[in-house]
Amino acid sequence: MSVVKSKMSASFSIVVLISGSGSNLQSIIDTIAAKKIPAKISAVISNKAEVYGLERAEQHGIPTEVIEHTQFENRESFDQQLQARIDHYQADLVVLAGFMRILTAPFVQHYSGRMLNIHPSLLPKYKGINTHQRALDDNAKQHGVSVHFVTPELDGGPVIAQASIAVKADDTAQSLAKRVLQYEHRIYPTVIQWFVEQRLSLGENGIIFDNQGLKNIIAYT
């Protein structure tokens, strides 16, 4: 079922998809409010009701919708409804911010080159979930976060930028997650800003940044 609320204005339209507390959403909201990203968030859509991310959006007058995946027979029918709602807002960019759903290939292809995701690992390492514990189990020396274009392969799209931190001897999955999250809040708005300002795009041969092919992943510090 779909629930719609309020409105705001500007030109470049972003739709943010969430499943939880929306801390990355908040960092994007704050960066837009600081006039560093020349865009508006046209809507925040969650596949779960009563998550705090929806409250964050409502506090800033951003329209919210809930499309509960449990109300659909399969992924395809859920994605079709989700796509219809995103397109209703004429999204120029779709931002996955803790959206815990595996998306179907037709959905991803519909937004090819204009959908971004943030993943808490140094991709291609640790695709999927439980990334922090898996890094600890591997005795990894470095861990971090990646922002990438979304393709049908799970967490397999071209990586734009990464932030890396050293893993401490006394780190737990929780402490590692907390430190990585601080970088998530910095790196994601930056990449979104590049996209909105047309410095970043996805071409046939890969990522284009400042009118040149991106040869190396951008290291964010």
143-199 pLDDT, tens per residue?
999 999 999 999 999 999 999 999 999 999 999 999 999 999 999 999 999 999 999
Higher pLDDT, 10 or 47: 47
Catalytic: which of 60, 69, 110, 119? 119
pLDDT at residue 125 above 80? yes
Q: Where in the chain is the domain with CATH 3.40.50.170?
A: 1-111, 119-221
Is the distance from CB of 206 to CB of 215 less than 8 angstroms? Answer: no
According to CATH, what is the number of the domain 119-221?
Answer: 3.40.50.170
- Separation CA 193–CA 26 (nearest Å): 15
Is the distance from CB of 147 to CB of 159 less than 8 angstroms? Answer: yes
Q: What is the mean pLDDT of residues 70-84?
A: 97
- Alpha-carbon distances, residue 71 vs 40, 75, 79 (angstroms): 29, 11, 12
Give the pair of three-digit tokens for residue 124. Answer: 């291609």
- Separation CA 73–CA 19 (nearest Å): 19
- Alpha-carbon distances, residue 156 vs 101, 111, 127, 147, 215 (angstroms): 15, 15, 8, 11, 17
Give the residue from 59, 47, 64 showing the smallest Cα distance to 5.
64
Q: Is 185 an active-site residue? A: no
The SS3 call for residue 162 is: strand
pLDDT of residue 220: 85
Q: Which fold has domain 1-111?
A: Rossmann fold (3.40.50)
0.75 cut: is pTM over it?
yes
- Separation CA 189–CA 37 (nearest Å): 8
The SS3 call for residue 200 is: strand
**Confidence grade of residue 221 (pLDDT, cut at 50, 70, 90):** confident
